[in-house]
Amino acid sequence: SAELPDPCTDLRLFQMVTKCMHKCINSPCMRDGQCCKSFPKQFKDDTEENVNGYPIYRRRATEPVQVGKYSIDNRWVVPYNLWLLKKFNAHINVEVCASFKSVKYLYKYVYKGHDAASVKIQKEGALDHDEILSFVEGWYVSAPEAMWRLNEFNLSHKSHTVVRLAVHLPQQQPIVYQDGQEAQAIERAALRKTTLTSWFELNKNDPSAHNISYSVIPQYYVFDKSTTNWKKRQRGGQNVI
């Protein structure tokens, strides 16, 4: 959420948000009256997707509340997770990351290697010093990590395949198009089924799918993107979510 909770409904959460999860004009991120994190945000009645993978959160225009000597509203709230905030009672910024770049970011940290440091080697009293040659890049490898790498154990493990299912209202499926090609994109979308509309059609034609809910259909069927139809799985499925 990126809004102030109702104190009448959850007073404890309201107190935590107003204590830990808001910005103000006196925040450290403020420079010459401007926030480097782009606060205050704009009021929004509904959450919207953004091109960079970060959504524009719902921030309804409500009455401001007094926090100390500052008055804040939903524009100043840092996005948070209710469960995490209540558990740790601390500033924890939680964002929805829907971009492929988020996977690249995670893998970069897993495989970036050992902690490195520059070491300067110089004789005492030396006057002729070559600054470039006197630095050596070095890193520290602990005994457990050295043993793990010498035995060539796996550095990562993939457990499940995640299938993204479309959810939309009738005739309101998302359409991706380039400027000037809106009409062609609409025509193509009319001919192609989404995972949701194809699931409805599957239930019409395949009685064995009647007892399978939409959320678990990938465990029993594979969505063929070329034909936009669900096809019964021949193998696997137990590690599909």
Rg (CA), the chain: 27
Both tokens assigned to 103: 């996977």
Both tokens assigned to 18: 């107003």
Residues 169 and 93 in one domain: no
Whether residue 80 is contained in a domain is answered as yes
- What pLDDT sits at residue 29? 75
Residues 99 and 171 in one domain: no
Residue 98 to residue 92: CA distance in whole angstroms: 19
Tell whether the model's pLDDT for residue 165 goes beyond 90: yes
Q: In whole angstroms, what separates CA 85 from the centre of its chain?
A: 18
Whether residue 151 is contained in a domain is answered as no
Mean pLDDT on 155-164: 84
Whether residue 124 is contained in a domain is answered as no
Both tokens assigned to 185: 């994109």
Residues 36 and 105 in one domain: yes
Contact between residue 91 and residue 78 where contact means Cβ atoms under 8 Å apart: yes
**Residues near 184 by beta carbon (within 8 Å), at least 6 away in sequence:** 177
Mean pLDDT on 38-64: 85
Whether residue 66 is contained in a domain is answered as yes
Give pairs for 9-16: CB < 8 Å, separation 24+: 12/86, 13/82, 13/85, 13/86, 16/85, 16/86, 16/89
Residues 106 and 6 in one domain: yes
- What pLDDT sits at residue 86? 92
Residues 85 and 182 in one domain: no
* Position 230 confidence tier, pLDDT thresholds 50, 70, 90: very high
Residues 58 and 165 in one domain: no
Tell whether the model's pLDDT for residue 75 goes beyond 80: yes
Whether omega for the bond prior to residue 144 falls within 30 degrees of 0, making it cis, is no
Both tokens assigned to 97: 């990351």
Whether residue 147 is contained in a domain is answered as no
User: Where do the DSSP E strands lie in the chain?
Assistant: 30-31, 34-35, 65-67, 70-72, 116-120, 135-139, 221-224, 229-232
Residues 14 and 105 in one domain: yes
**Number of domains comprising the chain:** 2
167-191 as b/e, with b when 16 or more CB fall inside 10 Å?
eeeeeebeeeeeeeeeeeeeeebee
Residues 182 and 82 in one domain: no
CB atoms within 10 A of CB 240: 17
102-112 as b/e, with b when 16 or more CB fall inside 10 Å?
eeeeeeeeeee
Question: Residue 9 is part of which domain span?
Answer: 1-112
Mean pLDDT on 172-193: 85
Mean pLDDT on 43-48: 89
Which of residues 112, 130, 146 is at a domain's end?
112
29 CB-side CA count, 13 A: 11
* Position 147 confidence tier, pLDDT thresholds 50, 70, 90: very high
